[in-house]
Amino acid sequence: MGELILLRHGETAWSASGRHTGRTDVPLTAHGVASAAALAPALARRHIAAAFASPATRAARTAELAGLTGAKQDPDLWEWDYGGYEGMTSAQIQARRPGWSLWRDGVIPGASPHQGETVQAVGARADRVLARASASLADGDVALVAHGHVLRVLTARWLGLPAVDGRLFRLDTGTLSTLGAEHDEPVIVTWNVRPGG
C-alpha cells in the first residue's frame, strides 16, 4: 500500500505577504521556483503510481518542477474559495471583524463566479480527491500538489476528523508531507518537511 504525498506549492508574492489566495492565479516567486525544484530528489526516490494537481498555475508549475510532469489536473484540489476575502490578509479581515477565524467564521460572498465556500464544502471536495487517490494507492504512492488550506482539510478527512480540524495542521509553502497507515489506521507519516529537511 502506497502513501499519499502532499506537496504545497512554492511561494508566491501573495503567500509571502499572507494574502488569502484562493482562485486568483498568482505565479511562483523565484524562491518558490527554487523550493519546488528542490522537492524533486525526494520524489525521485519514490514509486509514484499517480499524481494530481490543482489547476492553479502555481500548483501545476510546482508539480512540473518537482518532476511530476504527468500530473493530472483535479479541480477538487483548488484552494478554498475565499469569496469576498480573496487577496486580503487575516489582519485586514480582523480589522473589519475583530476575532475573525477562517475556520470558525468562514468567508463572505465575493464577486461572481467565486461566491466563497464553507469549510464543509472544502471537506466534500477533499473527500472526492481521497476517493480517487485511494484507487491508485495499491499500485504505489499518490502525489497531490495543491494549496495550504485544502491540503489541511484533506489531512483532517484522511484521519477521519471533521474538515474544520484542518486548523490543527500548519502547512508552509514548498513543503512535502506524507499520509499513510499504521495497523490499518490512517496516520500522518511526515508533516511540513522542507527540501533537504
What does the DSSP 8-state code read for residue 85? G
CA angle (193 as vertex; 189, 197 as ends), nearest 5: 115
Q: Which segments of the chain does DSSP mark as H helices, in order? A: 13-16, 30-37, 40-44, 57-65, 90-96, 102-105, 119-134, 148-158
What is the distance between the alpha carbons of residues 20 and 123, in angstroms, rounded to a whole number?
A: 18
What Cα–Cα distance (Å) separates residue 151 from each residue in 27, 110, 155?
19, 22, 6
Q: The C-alpha cell of 158 is what?
A: 484522511
Residues involved in catalysis: 9, 79
Residues 177 and 188: beta-carbon distance below 8 Å: yes
